[in-house]
Structure 1
Amino acid sequence: MTARRLCLRNLLFAVLPCVISFAIPSALADGCQLDVQGEGVVSAVIDARTLRLEDGREVRLAGVEVVARDSDNRRSSLASLIGQHVILRGEHGDPDRYGRQSSFLFLEHAASSVQSELLARGEALASADVADKGCAAELATAETGARQARLGIWAESSVIKSAEHPEEILTRIGRFAIVEGHVRTVRQAGGTLYLNFGPRWTRDFAATIPRRTMPSFKAAGVAPTSFEHRRVRVRGWVDRRGGPRIEVLRVGQIEVAGD
Protein backbone atom coordinates (compact mmCIF):
# COMPACT_ATOMS: atom_id res chain seq x y z
CA MET A 1 0.00 0.00 0.00
CA THR A 2 1.48 3.36 -1.00
CA ALA A 3 1.91 6.20 1.45
CA ARG A 4 -0.35 8.35 -0.75
CA ARG A 5 -3.13 5.80 -0.58
CA LEU A 6 -2.77 5.41 3.19
CA CYS A 7 -3.03 9.16 3.65
CA LEU A 8 -6.12 9.30 1.48
CA ARG A 9 -7.73 6.49 3.48
CA ASN A 10 -6.92 8.11 6.81
CA LEU A 11 -8.34 11.43 5.61
CA LEU A 12 -11.56 9.84 4.39
CA PHE A 13 -12.08 7.86 7.58
CA ALA A 14 -11.37 10.89 9.76
CA VAL A 15 -14.16 12.77 8.01
CA LEU A 16 -16.61 9.87 7.71
CA PRO A 17 -15.83 7.53 10.62
CA CYS A 18 -19.12 5.59 10.43
CA VAL A 19 -19.44 5.24 6.67
CA ILE A 20 -17.50 2.93 4.39
CA SER A 21 -15.79 5.10 1.77
CA PHE A 22 -14.40 3.86 -1.53
CA ALA A 23 -13.68 7.10 -3.39
CA ILE A 24 -10.07 6.23 -4.15
CA PRO A 25 -8.56 7.25 -7.53
CA SER A 26 -8.35 4.40 -10.04
CA ALA A 27 -4.64 5.05 -10.49
CA LEU A 28 -4.13 3.57 -7.03
CA ALA A 29 -5.78 0.24 -7.86
CA ASP A 30 -3.96 -2.83 -6.51
CA GLY A 31 -4.77 -5.19 -9.36
CA CYS A 32 -8.06 -6.84 -8.34
CA GLN A 33 -9.73 -6.47 -11.75
CA LEU A 34 -11.99 -9.49 -12.21
CA ASP A 35 -14.67 -9.87 -14.85
CA VAL A 36 -17.87 -7.89 -14.31
CA GLN A 37 -20.74 -10.18 -13.26
CA GLY A 38 -23.42 -7.53 -13.17
CA GLU A 39 -24.56 -4.52 -11.19
CA GLY A 40 -27.42 -3.33 -9.04
CA VAL A 41 -28.58 -1.20 -6.14
CA VAL A 42 -28.21 -2.48 -2.56
CA SER A 43 -31.58 -2.67 -0.82
CA ALA A 44 -30.80 -4.54 2.41
CA VAL A 45 -28.09 -6.11 4.57
CA ILE A 46 -28.91 -9.73 5.43
CA ASP A 47 -25.86 -10.48 7.56
CA ALA A 48 -22.22 -9.44 7.93
CA ARG A 49 -21.32 -10.92 4.52
CA THR A 50 -24.58 -10.90 2.55
CA LEU A 51 -26.45 -8.10 0.81
CA ARG A 52 -29.71 -8.04 -1.15
CA LEU A 53 -30.10 -6.02 -4.33
CA GLU A 54 -33.29 -4.30 -5.44
CA ASP A 55 -33.92 -6.98 -8.07
CA GLY A 56 -33.96 -9.66 -5.35
CA ARG A 57 -30.49 -11.11 -5.92
CA GLU A 58 -28.45 -11.97 -2.83
CA VAL A 59 -24.73 -11.25 -2.98
CA ARG A 60 -22.17 -12.88 -0.72
CA LEU A 61 -18.93 -10.97 -0.14
CA ALA A 62 -16.14 -13.13 -1.63
CA GLY A 63 -12.67 -13.42 -0.15
CA VAL A 64 -13.44 -12.49 3.46
CA GLU A 65 -14.67 -14.07 6.67
CA VAL A 66 -15.98 -12.49 9.85
CA VAL A 67 -15.53 -13.15 13.55
CA ALA A 68 -18.93 -14.21 14.89
CA ARG A 69 -18.94 -12.02 17.99
CA ASP A 70 -18.32 -8.92 15.90
CA SER A 71 -20.82 -9.68 13.11
CA ASP A 72 -23.45 -7.19 14.34
CA ASN A 73 -20.98 -4.30 14.18
CA ARG A 74 -19.90 -5.18 10.65
CA ARG A 75 -23.50 -5.58 9.59
CA SER A 76 -24.02 -1.98 10.71
CA SER A 77 -20.97 -0.91 8.67
CA LEU A 78 -22.41 -2.50 5.52
CA ALA A 79 -25.67 -0.63 6.09
CA SER A 80 -23.98 2.44 4.59
CA LEU A 81 -24.14 0.64 1.23
CA ILE A 82 -27.95 0.58 1.19
CA GLY A 83 -29.16 2.67 -1.74
CA GLN A 84 -25.74 2.58 -3.39
CA HIS A 85 -25.20 1.39 -6.96
CA VAL A 86 -22.60 -1.38 -6.95
CA ILE A 87 -20.69 -3.33 -9.58
CA LEU A 88 -20.18 -7.06 -9.05
CA ARG A 89 -16.90 -8.67 -10.08
CA GLY A 90 -15.90 -12.28 -9.60
CA GLU A 91 -14.01 -15.38 -10.64
CA HIS A 92 -17.22 -17.17 -11.63
CA GLY A 93 -20.86 -16.21 -11.83
CA ASP A 94 -22.44 -19.42 -10.57
CA PRO A 95 -24.58 -19.02 -7.42
CA ASP A 96 -23.94 -21.18 -4.36
CA ARG A 97 -26.36 -23.81 -3.11
CA TYR A 98 -28.38 -21.10 -1.37
CA GLY A 99 -28.73 -19.08 -4.57
CA ARG A 100 -26.28 -16.38 -3.46
CA GLN A 101 -23.78 -14.87 -5.88
CA SER A 102 -20.22 -14.72 -4.51
CA SER A 103 -18.67 -11.47 -5.71
CA PHE A 104 -16.33 -8.60 -5.07
CA LEU A 105 -18.31 -5.39 -4.68
CA PHE A 106 -17.20 -2.05 -6.08
CA LEU A 107 -18.89 1.30 -5.88
CA GLU A 108 -18.87 3.17 -9.18
CA HIS A 109 -15.49 4.74 -10.01
CA ALA A 110 -13.87 3.05 -6.96
CA ALA A 111 -10.56 1.26 -7.37
CA SER A 112 -10.77 -0.78 -4.16
CA SER A 113 -13.43 -3.36 -3.38
CA VAL A 114 -15.73 -3.26 -0.38
CA GLN A 115 -13.83 -6.29 0.89
CA SER A 116 -10.47 -4.50 0.78
CA GLU A 117 -11.82 -1.58 2.76
CA LEU A 118 -13.38 -3.84 5.40
CA LEU A 119 -10.04 -5.61 5.80
CA ALA A 120 -8.13 -2.33 5.93
CA ARG A 121 -10.34 -1.19 8.78
CA GLY A 122 -9.97 -4.43 10.71
CA GLU A 123 -13.59 -5.44 10.16
CA ALA A 124 -12.96 -8.79 8.44
CA LEU A 125 -10.36 -11.52 7.86
CA ALA A 126 -9.00 -12.60 4.48
CA SER A 127 -10.30 -16.08 3.71
CA ALA A 128 -7.38 -17.08 1.41
CA ASP A 129 -9.76 -18.84 -0.98
CA VAL A 130 -9.35 -16.40 -3.88
CA ALA A 131 -7.55 -17.87 -6.89
CA ASP A 132 -6.82 -14.57 -8.64
CA LYS A 133 -3.33 -13.51 -7.55
CA GLY A 134 -3.99 -9.78 -7.85
CA CYS A 135 -7.08 -9.93 -5.65
CA ALA A 136 -5.45 -12.26 -3.15
CA ALA A 137 -2.46 -9.92 -2.82
CA GLU A 138 -4.71 -6.87 -2.38
CA LEU A 139 -6.72 -8.55 0.38
CA ALA A 140 -3.61 -9.80 2.17
CA THR A 141 -2.02 -6.34 2.06
CA ALA A 142 -5.16 -4.71 3.44
CA GLU A 143 -5.41 -7.21 6.30
CA THR A 144 -1.71 -6.90 7.14
CA GLY A 145 -1.99 -3.13 7.41
CA ALA A 146 -4.90 -3.40 9.83
CA ARG A 147 -3.15 -6.07 11.89
CA GLN A 148 0.04 -4.03 12.22
CA ALA A 149 -1.93 -0.92 13.17
CA ARG A 150 -4.17 -2.93 15.55
CA LEU A 151 -7.33 -1.62 13.96
CA GLY A 152 -10.80 -3.04 14.57
CA ILE A 153 -10.74 -6.68 15.59
CA TRP A 154 -6.93 -6.61 15.66
CA ALA A 155 -7.09 -4.51 18.82
CA GLU A 156 -8.00 -7.78 20.55
CA SER A 157 -5.26 -10.24 21.40
CA SER A 158 -7.50 -13.27 20.82
CA VAL A 159 -7.95 -12.92 17.05
CA ILE A 160 -4.99 -15.19 16.31
CA LYS A 161 -5.19 -18.42 18.28
CA SER A 162 -2.00 -19.92 19.70
CA ALA A 163 -1.14 -23.45 18.57
CA GLU A 164 0.19 -23.99 22.09
CA HIS A 165 -3.37 -23.87 23.44
CA PRO A 166 -5.39 -26.46 21.47
CA GLU A 167 -8.26 -26.19 23.93
CA GLU A 168 -8.84 -22.59 22.81
CA ILE A 169 -8.74 -23.57 19.14
CA LEU A 170 -11.40 -26.20 19.82
CA THR A 171 -13.81 -23.43 20.80
CA ARG A 172 -13.76 -22.45 17.11
CA ILE A 173 -14.87 -25.82 15.71
CA GLY A 174 -16.95 -25.26 12.62
CA ARG A 175 -15.75 -21.66 12.38
CA PHE A 176 -13.04 -19.77 10.55
CA ALA A 177 -9.88 -19.10 12.55
CA ILE A 178 -6.23 -18.09 12.30
CA VAL A 179 -3.76 -20.18 14.28
CA GLU A 180 -0.10 -19.31 14.81
CA GLY A 181 2.66 -21.48 16.18
CA HIS A 182 5.91 -23.37 15.69
CA VAL A 183 5.83 -26.38 13.35
CA ARG A 184 7.59 -29.18 15.17
CA THR A 185 7.45 -31.81 12.44
CA VAL A 186 6.11 -32.40 8.92
CA ARG A 187 5.02 -35.98 8.32
CA GLN A 188 3.28 -37.91 5.54
CA ALA A 189 0.52 -40.38 6.45
CA GLY A 190 -1.30 -42.01 3.56
CA GLY A 191 -2.42 -39.28 1.17
CA THR A 192 -2.14 -36.48 3.73
CA LEU A 193 0.78 -34.32 4.82
CA TYR A 194 0.64 -33.22 8.46
CA LEU A 195 2.20 -30.05 9.85
CA ASN A 196 2.36 -30.94 13.53
CA PHE A 197 2.47 -28.12 16.06
CA GLY A 198 2.79 -30.42 19.07
CA PRO A 199 4.01 -33.94 20.00
CA ARG A 200 0.54 -35.40 20.71
CA TRP A 201 -1.53 -35.95 17.57
CA THR A 202 -4.58 -36.85 19.67
CA ARG A 203 -4.60 -33.46 21.41
CA ASP A 204 -2.39 -30.90 19.66
CA PHE A 205 -3.12 -28.71 16.67
CA ALA A 206 -2.11 -29.77 13.16
CA ALA A 207 -2.60 -28.40 9.66
CA THR A 208 -3.32 -31.05 7.04
CA ILE A 209 -2.50 -30.82 3.34
CA PRO A 210 -4.33 -33.41 1.21
CA ARG A 211 -2.64 -34.96 -1.81
CA ARG A 212 -4.88 -33.06 -4.25
CA THR A 213 -3.53 -29.75 -2.94
CA MET A 214 0.13 -30.61 -3.46
CA PRO A 215 0.26 -29.59 -7.17
CA SER A 216 -0.72 -26.02 -6.24
CA PHE A 217 2.19 -25.84 -3.76
CA LYS A 218 4.55 -27.13 -6.44
CA ALA A 219 3.22 -24.60 -8.97
CA ALA A 220 3.80 -21.81 -6.44
CA GLY A 221 7.34 -23.01 -5.77
CA VAL A 222 6.55 -23.73 -2.12
CA ALA A 223 7.67 -26.97 -0.47
CA PRO A 224 5.45 -27.76 2.55
CA THR A 225 8.43 -29.45 4.19
CA SER A 226 10.09 -26.00 4.35
CA PHE A 227 7.65 -25.03 7.11
CA GLU A 228 9.26 -27.49 9.53
CA HIS A 229 10.89 -25.73 12.52
CA ARG A 230 9.42 -22.39 11.46
CA ARG A 231 6.75 -20.19 13.00
CA VAL A 232 3.75 -19.99 10.71
CA ARG A 233 0.14 -18.79 10.59
CA VAL A 234 -2.58 -21.08 9.27
CA ARG A 235 -6.10 -19.91 8.43
CA GLY A 236 -9.19 -21.93 7.63
CA TRP A 237 -12.12 -23.81 9.13
CA VAL A 238 -11.45 -25.63 12.39
CA ASP A 239 -12.30 -29.33 12.58
CA ARG A 240 -11.55 -31.99 15.15
CA ARG A 241 -9.78 -35.24 14.31
CA GLY A 242 -8.08 -36.19 17.54
CA GLY A 243 -6.85 -32.65 18.17
CA PRO A 244 -7.99 -29.51 16.35
CA ARG A 245 -7.28 -29.45 12.62
CA ILE A 246 -7.36 -27.01 9.72
CA GLU A 247 -7.34 -28.49 6.23
CA VAL A 248 -5.19 -26.52 3.79
CA LEU A 249 -6.72 -26.40 0.31
CA ARG A 250 -4.86 -23.33 -0.99
CA VAL A 251 -1.26 -22.19 -0.67
CA GLY A 252 -2.38 -18.83 0.72
CA GLN A 253 -3.76 -20.45 3.86
CA ILE A 254 -0.22 -20.78 5.24
CA GLU A 255 2.21 -17.94 5.76
CA VAL A 256 5.49 -17.68 7.62
CA ALA A 257 4.90 -15.38 10.61
CA GLY A 258 6.73 -12.11 10.08
CA ASP A 259 6.90 -12.46 6.28
Structure 2
Amino acid sequence: MAESKNIDGRAATVLLCVIAFAAANANLAFASACNFEAQGEGRVAAVIDARSFRMEDGREVHLAGIETADAAGKADGTPALSALVAGRGVVLRGETDAPDRYGRQPAFVFADAGGASVQGLLLAQGEALVSGTVADMACAAELAAAETAARRAKRGVWADTEVIKNAESPGDILTRIGRFTVVEGKVLSVRQAGATSYINFGRRWTQDFAVTISRRVMPTFEAVGISLKALENKRIRVRGWVESRGGPRIDARTPGQIELAGEN
Protein backbone atom coordinates (compact mmCIF):
# COMPACT_ATOMS: atom_id res chain seq x y z
CA MET A 1 0.00 0.00 0.00
CA ALA A 2 2.83 2.42 0.89
CA GLU A 3 4.60 1.65 -2.38
CA SER A 4 1.35 2.29 -4.28
CA LYS A 5 1.02 5.69 -2.61
CA ASN A 6 4.63 6.55 -3.53
CA ILE A 7 4.05 5.62 -7.15
CA ASP A 8 0.80 7.64 -7.23
CA GLY A 9 2.66 10.60 -5.72
CA ARG A 10 5.43 10.44 -8.31
CA ALA A 11 2.85 10.12 -11.10
CA ALA A 12 1.01 13.17 -9.81
CA THR A 13 4.25 15.15 -9.65
CA VAL A 14 5.13 14.17 -13.20
CA LEU A 15 1.64 15.13 -14.41
CA LEU A 16 1.83 18.55 -12.76
CA CYS A 17 5.24 19.19 -14.32
CA VAL A 18 3.98 18.07 -17.73
CA ILE A 19 1.06 20.49 -17.43
CA ALA A 20 3.32 23.34 -16.30
CA PHE A 21 5.81 22.66 -19.09
CA ALA A 22 3.04 22.48 -21.68
CA ALA A 23 1.48 25.70 -20.43
CA ALA A 24 4.80 27.56 -20.58
CA ASN A 25 5.72 26.02 -23.94
CA ALA A 26 2.40 25.30 -25.62
CA ASN A 27 3.82 24.69 -29.08
CA LEU A 28 6.41 22.25 -27.74
CA ALA A 29 3.70 19.97 -26.39
CA PHE A 30 2.71 19.15 -29.95
CA ALA A 31 5.91 19.48 -31.95
CA SER A 32 9.19 19.30 -30.06
CA ALA A 33 12.13 21.07 -31.65
CA CYS A 34 14.21 18.04 -30.59
CA ASN A 35 12.08 15.77 -32.75
CA PHE A 36 15.00 14.53 -34.86
CA GLU A 37 15.05 11.56 -37.21
CA ALA A 38 13.72 8.35 -35.63
CA GLN A 39 16.52 6.01 -34.54
CA GLY A 40 14.46 3.10 -33.30
CA GLU A 41 11.76 2.28 -30.80
CA GLY A 42 10.87 -0.34 -28.23
CA ARG A 43 9.89 -0.94 -24.64
CA VAL A 44 11.95 0.07 -21.62
CA ALA A 45 12.98 -2.97 -19.57
CA ALA A 46 14.93 -1.29 -16.77
CA VAL A 47 16.09 2.17 -15.70
CA ILE A 48 19.84 2.10 -14.98
CA ASP A 49 20.37 5.56 -13.52
CA ALA A 50 19.08 9.14 -13.74
CA ARG A 51 20.07 9.44 -17.42
CA SER A 52 20.04 5.96 -18.92
CA PHE A 53 17.90 2.85 -19.34
CA ARG A 54 17.93 -0.56 -20.99
CA MET A 55 15.49 -1.59 -23.72
CA GLU A 56 13.92 -5.06 -23.93
CA ASP A 57 16.14 -5.79 -26.95
CA GLY A 58 19.26 -5.16 -24.84
CA ARG A 59 20.17 -1.69 -26.11
CA GLU A 60 21.34 0.80 -23.50
CA VAL A 61 20.10 4.34 -24.13
CA HIS A 62 21.68 7.49 -22.72
CA LEU A 63 19.61 10.68 -22.62
CA ALA A 64 21.25 13.27 -24.89
CA GLY A 65 21.37 16.99 -24.13
CA ILE A 66 21.12 16.86 -20.33
CA GLU A 67 23.24 16.12 -17.29
CA THR A 68 22.31 14.81 -13.87
CA ALA A 69 21.09 17.47 -11.45
CA ASP A 70 22.57 16.99 -8.00
CA ALA A 71 22.62 19.14 -4.89
CA ALA A 72 23.32 18.72 -1.21
CA GLY A 73 20.63 16.63 0.40
CA LYS A 74 18.86 15.87 -2.89
CA ALA A 75 18.03 12.26 -3.70
CA ASP A 76 19.12 10.44 -6.83
CA GLY A 77 17.07 11.45 -9.87
CA THR A 78 16.53 7.86 -11.04
CA PRO A 79 12.90 7.70 -9.74
CA ALA A 80 11.98 10.71 -11.88
CA LEU A 81 13.16 8.96 -15.05
CA SER A 82 11.48 5.71 -13.95
CA ALA A 83 8.16 7.50 -13.52
CA LEU A 84 8.36 8.68 -17.14
CA VAL A 85 9.64 5.61 -19.01
CA ALA A 86 9.74 2.41 -16.92
CA GLY A 87 7.85 -0.36 -18.73
CA ARG A 88 6.71 1.99 -21.48
CA GLY A 89 7.15 2.01 -25.21
CA VAL A 90 9.43 4.82 -26.37
CA VAL A 91 10.69 6.32 -29.63
CA LEU A 92 14.37 7.24 -29.90
CA ARG A 93 15.36 10.24 -32.01
CA GLY A 94 18.68 11.82 -32.88
CA GLU A 95 21.09 12.88 -35.59
CA THR A 96 22.84 9.50 -35.42
CA ASP A 97 22.34 6.14 -33.75
CA ALA A 98 26.10 5.59 -33.34
CA PRO A 99 26.88 4.37 -29.81
CA ASP A 100 29.05 6.41 -27.46
CA ARG A 101 32.35 5.11 -26.08
CA TYR A 102 30.48 3.13 -23.45
CA GLY A 103 28.33 1.36 -26.04
CA ARG A 104 25.19 3.34 -25.20
CA GLN A 105 22.91 4.95 -27.77
CA PRO A 106 22.59 8.72 -27.12
CA ALA A 107 19.07 9.80 -28.02
CA PHE A 108 16.19 12.14 -27.42
CA VAL A 109 13.43 9.99 -26.00
CA PHE A 110 9.70 10.33 -26.53
CA ALA A 111 7.19 8.33 -24.51
CA ASP A 112 4.16 10.05 -26.05
CA ALA A 113 3.70 10.54 -29.79
CA GLY A 114 3.88 14.24 -30.61
CA GLY A 115 4.62 15.19 -27.02
CA ALA A 116 7.58 16.76 -25.26
CA SER A 117 10.81 14.83 -24.97
CA VAL A 118 11.65 13.00 -21.76
CA GLN A 119 14.61 15.38 -21.49
CA GLY A 120 12.30 18.39 -21.59
CA LEU A 121 10.05 16.92 -18.92
CA LEU A 122 12.97 16.13 -16.60
CA LEU A 123 14.30 19.66 -17.04
CA ALA A 124 10.85 21.09 -16.31
CA GLN A 125 10.75 19.09 -13.08
CA GLY A 126 14.18 20.35 -12.04
CA GLU A 127 15.51 16.79 -12.22
CA ALA A 128 18.19 17.54 -14.82
CA LEU A 129 20.43 20.31 -16.13
CA VAL A 130 20.99 21.38 -19.73
CA SER A 131 24.36 20.04 -20.88
CA GLY A 132 24.96 22.85 -23.39
CA THR A 133 26.19 20.35 -25.98
CA VAL A 134 23.22 20.32 -28.39
CA ALA A 135 24.20 21.90 -31.70
CA ASP A 136 20.67 22.37 -33.06
CA MET A 137 19.71 25.88 -31.92
CA ALA A 138 15.94 25.31 -31.81
CA CYS A 139 16.32 22.16 -29.71
CA ALA A 140 18.88 23.85 -27.44
CA ALA A 141 16.50 26.79 -26.90
CA GLU A 142 13.66 24.44 -26.04
CA LEU A 143 15.73 22.65 -23.41
CA ALA A 144 16.98 25.95 -21.98
CA ALA A 145 13.39 27.23 -21.67
CA ALA A 146 12.38 24.14 -19.70
CA GLU A 147 15.34 24.53 -17.34
CA THR A 148 14.65 28.24 -16.88
CA ALA A 149 11.02 27.57 -16.01
CA ALA A 150 12.06 25.06 -13.32
CA ARG A 151 14.70 27.44 -11.94
CA ARG A 152 12.25 30.32 -11.64
CA ALA A 153 9.68 28.08 -9.96
CA LYS A 154 12.37 26.57 -7.67
CA ARG A 155 11.37 23.04 -8.65
CA GLY A 156 13.51 20.00 -7.94
CA VAL A 157 17.21 20.74 -7.65
CA TRP A 158 16.52 24.47 -8.00
CA ALA A 159 15.01 24.55 -4.50
CA ASP A 160 18.67 24.62 -3.42
CA THR A 161 19.89 28.21 -3.67
CA GLU A 162 23.49 27.06 -4.16
CA VAL A 163 23.02 25.06 -7.35
CA ILE A 164 24.68 27.86 -9.34
CA LYS A 165 28.17 28.39 -7.93
CA ASN A 166 29.67 31.84 -7.50
CA ALA A 167 32.71 32.39 -9.74
CA GLU A 168 34.23 34.50 -6.97
CA SER A 169 34.35 31.48 -4.63
CA PRO A 170 36.96 29.16 -6.19
CA GLY A 171 37.17 27.03 -3.06
CA ASP A 172 33.47 26.22 -3.30
CA ILE A 173 33.82 25.33 -6.99
CA LEU A 174 36.78 23.03 -6.22
CA THR A 175 34.46 20.85 -4.12
CA ARG A 176 32.78 19.96 -7.43
CA ILE A 177 35.82 18.43 -9.15
CA GLY A 178 34.71 15.75 -11.59
CA ARG A 179 31.06 16.84 -11.42
CA PHE A 180 28.89 18.76 -13.86
CA THR A 181 28.42 22.26 -12.46
CA VAL A 182 26.88 25.63 -13.35
CA VAL A 183 28.98 28.68 -12.41
CA GLU A 184 28.01 32.34 -12.70
CA GLY A 185 30.07 35.51 -12.38
CA LYS A 186 31.49 38.64 -14.00
CA VAL A 187 34.30 38.18 -16.51
CA LEU A 188 37.40 40.13 -15.49
CA SER A 189 39.52 39.48 -18.56
CA VAL A 190 40.04 37.26 -21.60
CA ARG A 191 43.58 36.17 -22.41
CA GLN A 192 45.22 33.77 -24.83
CA ALA A 193 48.20 31.61 -23.99
CA GLY A 194 49.42 29.34 -26.75
CA ALA A 195 46.51 27.39 -28.20
CA THR A 196 44.18 28.12 -25.27
CA SER A 197 41.96 31.11 -24.49
CA TYR A 198 41.18 31.86 -20.84
CA ILE A 199 38.04 33.59 -19.61
CA ASN A 200 39.19 34.83 -16.21
CA PHE A 201 36.94 35.66 -13.27
CA GLY A 202 39.73 36.77 -10.94
CA ARG A 203 43.21 38.31 -10.93
CA ARG A 204 44.95 35.31 -9.37
CA TRP A 205 45.16 33.27 -12.53
CA THR A 206 46.67 30.24 -10.78
CA GLN A 207 43.98 30.16 -8.08
CA ASP A 208 40.78 31.77 -9.32
CA PHE A 209 38.09 30.24 -11.50
CA ALA A 210 38.55 30.36 -15.28
CA VAL A 211 36.96 28.91 -18.41
CA THR A 212 39.30 27.45 -21.01
CA ILE A 213 38.60 27.20 -24.74
CA SER A 214 40.90 25.40 -27.14
CA ARG A 215 41.85 27.08 -30.42
CA ARG A 216 40.59 24.05 -32.35
CA VAL A 217 36.97 24.64 -31.21
CA MET A 218 37.00 28.42 -31.59
CA PRO A 219 35.40 28.27 -35.09
CA THR A 220 32.22 26.83 -33.53
CA PHE A 221 31.99 29.83 -31.18
CA GLU A 222 32.70 32.31 -33.96
CA ALA A 223 30.09 30.65 -36.18
CA VAL A 224 27.34 31.64 -33.73
CA GLY A 225 28.71 35.13 -33.18
CA ILE A 226 30.44 34.66 -29.83
CA SER A 227 33.46 36.98 -29.44
CA LEU A 228 35.40 36.08 -26.31
CA LYS A 229 36.82 39.60 -25.85
CA ALA A 230 33.29 40.98 -25.92
CA LEU A 231 32.56 38.96 -22.78
CA GLU A 232 34.86 41.14 -20.66
CA ASN A 233 32.92 42.93 -17.91
CA LYS A 234 29.84 40.85 -18.75
CA ARG A 235 28.10 38.58 -16.29
CA ILE A 236 27.90 35.09 -17.74
CA ARG A 237 26.78 31.62 -16.75
CA VAL A 238 28.96 28.67 -17.77
CA ARG A 239 28.31 24.94 -17.38
CA GLY A 240 30.55 21.93 -17.64
CA TRP A 241 32.79 19.52 -15.74
CA VAL A 242 34.98 21.06 -13.05
CA GLU A 243 38.71 20.32 -13.22
CA SER A 244 41.57 21.47 -11.03
CA ARG A 245 44.50 23.05 -12.84
CA GLY A 246 45.87 25.36 -10.21
CA GLY A 247 42.46 26.94 -9.71
CA PRO A 248 39.12 25.44 -10.73
CA ARG A 249 38.52 25.22 -14.48
CA ILE A 250 35.70 24.36 -16.86
CA ASP A 251 36.67 23.51 -20.42
CA ALA A 252 34.08 24.92 -22.84
CA ARG A 253 33.90 22.89 -26.04
CA THR A 254 30.54 24.07 -27.36
CA PRO A 255 28.89 27.52 -27.50
CA GLY A 256 25.89 26.27 -25.54
CA GLN A 257 28.02 26.01 -22.41
CA ILE A 258 28.22 29.81 -22.15
CA GLU A 259 25.32 32.25 -21.81
CA LEU A 260 24.78 35.81 -20.66
CA ALA A 261 23.24 35.96 -17.19
CA GLY A 262 21.39 38.65 -15.29
CA GLU A 263 21.69 42.27 -16.32
CA ASN A 264 24.45 43.19 -18.80
Q: What displacement does 1:73 show?
A: 3.9
2:209 to 196, 205, 209: 205
User: What one-letter code is carried by the residue in structure 1 that aligns with 2:89?
Assistant: H
| Cα distance in 2, alignment partners of residues 223 and 30 from structure 1 | 30
Is 1:111 the counterpart of 2:115 in the alignment? yes
SS in 1 for 2:175: helix
Q: CA deviation at 1:20?
A: 8.5
SS at match of 1:221: coil
| Normalised TM-score (structure 2) | 0.87
The counterpart of 2:148, out of the listed 144, 147, 156, is 144
Q: Percent identity?
A: 54
Question: Is residue 29 of structure 2 the alignment partner of residue 33 of structure 1?
Answer: no
Match of 1:218 among 213, 216, 222: 222
Q: Structure 1 residues 21, 187: closer, same or farther in 2, change over 3 A? A: closer
Matching of residue 251 in structure 1 with residue 251 in structure 2: no
Q: Which residue of 2 aligns with 1:100?
A: 104
Q: Quick one: which amino acid aligns to residue 180 of structure 1?
A: E
Residue matched to 2:160: 156
Superposition deviation, residue 245 in structure 1: 0.4
1:33-52 matches, within 5 Å, as 33-52=35-54
Q: Unaligned regions of 5+ residues in structure 1, if any?
A: 1-12
CA RMSD of aligned residues (A): 2.2
Q: Assess if the C-alpha contact under 8 Å between 1:87 and 1:107 holds in 2.
A: yes
Give a deviation string over 1:177-220, Cα, whole Å, max 9, x none. Answer: 00001110111111111110000011100001110121112111
Other-structure match for 1:194: 198
Name the aligned partner's letter for residue 221 of structure 1: G
Pairwise CA distance, 1:67: 3.0
In the superposition, relative to structure 1, how do residues 175 and 50 fare at CA in structure 2: closer, same or farther (>3 Å)? Answer: same
Normalised by the size of structure 1, how large is the TM-score? 0.89
1:111 is displaced (CA, Å) by 2.3
Matched, 1:55 2:51: no
Q: Is the 8 A contact 1:22 1:114 kept in 2?
A: no
Q: Distance in 1 between matches of 2:215 and 2:194?
A: 9
Partner of residue 137 from structure 2, selected from 109, 133, 139: 133
Q: Following superposition of structure 1 onto structure 2, how do residues 13-32 of structure 1 map, counting pairs within 5 Å?
A: 16-18=12-14, 28-32=30-34
Q: 1:221 and 1:253 mapped to 2: Cα distance?
A: 14
Distance 2:70 2:258 in 1: 22
SS in 1 for 2:13: coil
Give structure 2 stretches of 5+ with no counterpart: 1-8
Structure-2 change in CA distance of 1:87 and 1:71 (3 Å): farther
